[in-house]
Structure 1
């Protein structure tokens, strides 16, 4: 445990190192003014202005993309900045990036489709389809509980190597032999990485062809809906991937100066230095890191079918995907009604925050234009997708310059969502 004085010295030292880093490394960057490209419906010109100001204020350190669909019509599709700032490679129309935990929402659609086809029920025990999962007191864990981060399997004690992560049979055996970290079903704790391996096994054990999540998503969802989103990126698409950078301490402090509430996310950094469950989660797999450094840039990892953190796409693909889902192009209205409602709305003991969850999605407050909440998912660094069924609006944002805050505490994203609803409320779409 760090004392207050040692923690202060650590933070001060980090700030000084960050200053030095910025002084020297910025000289490697291109001095070209970031370009903003794309399309906005004439009614949404304010959104373009907010997008541009994110760069002008220095809030976007690298690049980003933002898209909005309303009832099947694309009204905003913007991108700008750099896909790789040090190489002066600009963010292009077809640039894609790791979307971190927004992947969970995309993977949840695979389960929703299997549910609609009658291959599974959310209320069924996982062990009904995957008997080996029923060990160690997990026989009561339903598919809904697993998708709502209630299975007690938020982290694994068994070290997950790169080779194991790429082998679904080894992952299955590890999960079956791993003991839950709390009594399953008694509370919710975010399954940051393990969600992806659990969903993969659920899909493998319920799909008639025993496909993994990456293949199932590609063949049954992405291809049929014509969306450029991948869980397991083909090598041929690697040239489009943006290079990710993590925020330095100056970036984080600047976010806090904009909104002091961001401090609650800074507390996560302290948790990583202690024996907190979050530290156990982040340290395994040890080779997959995106907090202080970014091993996520390793192209080999982009090939992994890791359905919790390594989905690849852009704002347009995410928004198009969930817009099509909202309009019944993947599942019917009854299934949509089911998955758009939360299952649990209580404090997540790993987040230390209340987050409504259910069916693999986050259900996040909107409280604009008559909509109380939307369903989708946040992602590390401020990735975002959300669908508002009342107003038929789907919004998505991705960035390769990671931020500290999420959703309403991510200043780059929240200003954009707010500007969209300013327009919606004015024109009453």
Structure 2
């Protein structure tokens, strides 16, 4: 039998094995709840369409929230927190935000910079002398936050147990050797950027707090943000079961239809990026199924496992964007600092040695210009479809979170794109009606 014929038979059998079981699944009703302000009705329709069209897989659950001109205008949730248990997604359901959490670590660092306790262009070793080992003596805080420190791979394989030992984890970072000369290249520090930043922050902070502790005490509690870096065990009953889209086409489609996903695969296959090395170094940290373990959720993982609601992150970005004052009468960041986060003079696109395509970062925040209908936005994407952004020119903030991890590269997920396109069209229509 010829190779081509054999390959075709294997593909057909694989597809049949993938989809025949779906014929015997019980169809679950589409559950959609929440509110939208007048003028944003089309977004609610798109949110429902995502479920009814299959963009949201059978039994999936997600939430989408947005603030416009300082007011909450979209607050939608739908599907299931756990479809096997027939547990619907509720108004207060929490889910993993993945790498969206990196921006919260960047926020904590920016707060210290604004207070004069930290400087972006100082060397990390100025605050953390032990860090100046094995070629890391000239790494600046800015290089670290912009994924230019050369440390996407560290000296020991990572694990939840290691992340649970804060002192030992710091020693691993201090002894690690960069895989490229710091400052000469960019490569996404997928699971360690915010953890290294946390080690730095705890050495600068007057209370020696970690990023998770600093975020809770300085941001989440005073501003009533329902988001956690290290989830308290007693809140697990609210948390959606994290899963992934296991449909074969859902794995193939991103590679065939998007530039970034195809570049990631090419880097893996060709060995021209560090992606495989990063994943191998990731150990149990990248075992997505473990995210359903309450003990794992309780460990601080500010690069990859903040847990909360879409509403909370959209609200937080609105608070940042408008420099809303807290109970102490002070904002998290001044308007001058906020503007610097997305000012084009402070960031540039650089080829990413891990992802295999150009990325844009500014002191830990992702920059997302010219993506579909987006002109300029700052925030962060997360693996599996998560996205949380602020659009300064539109006075708009929004967040999409799902429990069902897709395979599109961060920022390319069609569920999020459909909602964002619809929302921005609504905003522009509202603005045009007032001119």
SS of structure 2 residue aligned to 1:282: helix
The match for 1:312 among 300, 307, 313 is 307
Distance in 1, Cα, partners of 2:66 & 2:311: 8
Listed one character per residue, the Cα deviations across residues 222-255 of structure 1 (whole Å, up to 9, x for unaligned) are: 1111110110000111111111222225242574
Listed one character per residue, the Cα deviations across residues 343-401 of structure 1 (whole Å, up to 9, x for unaligned) are: 342111211111111111110014788x7310001100010001011111001100111
Match of 2:354 in 1: 350
Distance in 2, Cα, partners of 1:221 & 1:197: 18
Q: Is the 8 A contact 2:317 2:397 kept in 1?
A: yes
Q: TM-score, normalised by structure 1?
A: 0.90
Match of 1:361 in 2: 365
Distance in 1, Cα, partners of 2:238 & 2:23: 24
Match of 1:65 in 2: 63
Distance in 2, Cα, partners of 1:215 & 1:416: 33
Residue 394 (structure 1) aligned with residue 397 (structure 2): yes
SS of structure 2 residue aligned to 1:288: helix
Match of 2:49 in 1: 53
Listed one character per residue, the Cα deviations across residues 288-341 of structure 1 (whole Å, up to 9, x for unaligned) are: 235xx6332222211111110010012111101111111103111122122233
Q: Is the 8 A contact 1:368 1:421 kept in 2?
A: no
Write out aligned runs for 1:18-417 (5 A): 19-24=16-21, 27=24, 31-61=27-57, 62-252=60-250, 255-256=253-254, 260-262=256-258, 264-265=260-261, 268=264, 276-289=273-286, 294-329=289-324, 330-341=332-343, 342-366=346-370, 372-406=375-409, 409-417=412-420
Distance in 1, Cα, partners of 2:36 & 2:12: 39
Gaps of 5+ in 1: none
Distance in 2, Cα, partners of 1:138 & 1:162: 25
Match of 1:424 in 2: 427
1:155: Cα distance to partner?
1.3
SS of structure 2 residue aligned to 1:372: coil
SS of structure 2 residue aligned to 1:405: coil
1:279: Cα distance to partner?
1.4
Q: Give the count of matched residue pairs.
A: 417
Q: TM-score, normalised by structure 2?
A: 0.89
| More divergent stretch after superposition (309-318 vs 331-340) | 331-340
1:285: Cα distance to partner?
3.1
When residues 15 and 243 of structure 1 are mapped into structure 2, their CA distance, relative to the original with a 3 A threshold, is farther
1:261: Cα distance to partner?
3.0
Distance in 2, Cα, partners of 1:326 & 1:389: 7
Distance in 2, Cα, partners of 1:328 & 1:188: 30
1:42: Cα distance to partner?
1.8
Q: Is the 8 A contact 1:19 1:250 kept in 2?
A: no
